[in-house]
Amino acid sequence: MSQPDIVADLAPRIAVAIRDGFEDYHARFAAITARARLRFEQRDWTAARQDAVERIALYDLCIAERMDALRRMAGDAIGVRALWLQVHAHYSALLQGLIDAELY
């Protein structure tokens, strides 16, 4: 498969994977936050602190997970500039119309 074919095949899939990664992060963050509220209301300070630490660590964890997935998807094409230009275009199209697109 030629490089343009690889780019055309991979770019939309990578864009979706990145979007899905952000959605996963937001869902996991919301779950921790909901749990943290309950723990705060119950004055479970140890667990509330654990939730705060978990929320802080979550971003790095999600980025690492997504980067591993993207490396597996892209393989040797991971460093091809043309791929990322196309990913950007596909990703921008995926976010059109989202009320909170600036958070992605």
How much is the pLDDT for 1?
66
44 vs 84: CA distance, rounded Å? 45
Q: What is the mean pLDDT of residues 29-38?
A: 91
Q: Could you give the C-alpha distances from 77 to 2, 60, 69, in angstroms and in order?
A: 11, 24, 13
Q: What is the mean pLDDT of residues 70-92?
A: 94
**pLDDT tens digit sequence for 57-74:** 999 999 999 999 999 999
Range of the domain at 33: 3-103
Q: Which residues contact 22 (CB under 8 A, 6 or more apart)?
A: 103, 104
How much is the pLDDT for 66?
97
56 vs 54: CA distance, rounded Å? 5
13 vs 91: CA distance, rounded Å? 10
Q: Could you give the C-alpha distances from 14 to 20, 32, 84, 102, in angstroms and in order?
A: 10, 27, 9, 19
Q: Is the pTM for the entire model greater than 0.85?
A: no
How many structural domains is the chain composed of? 1
**Of all residues in the chain, what percent carry a pLDDT higher than 70?**
95
Q: pLDDT at residue 103 above 70?
A: no
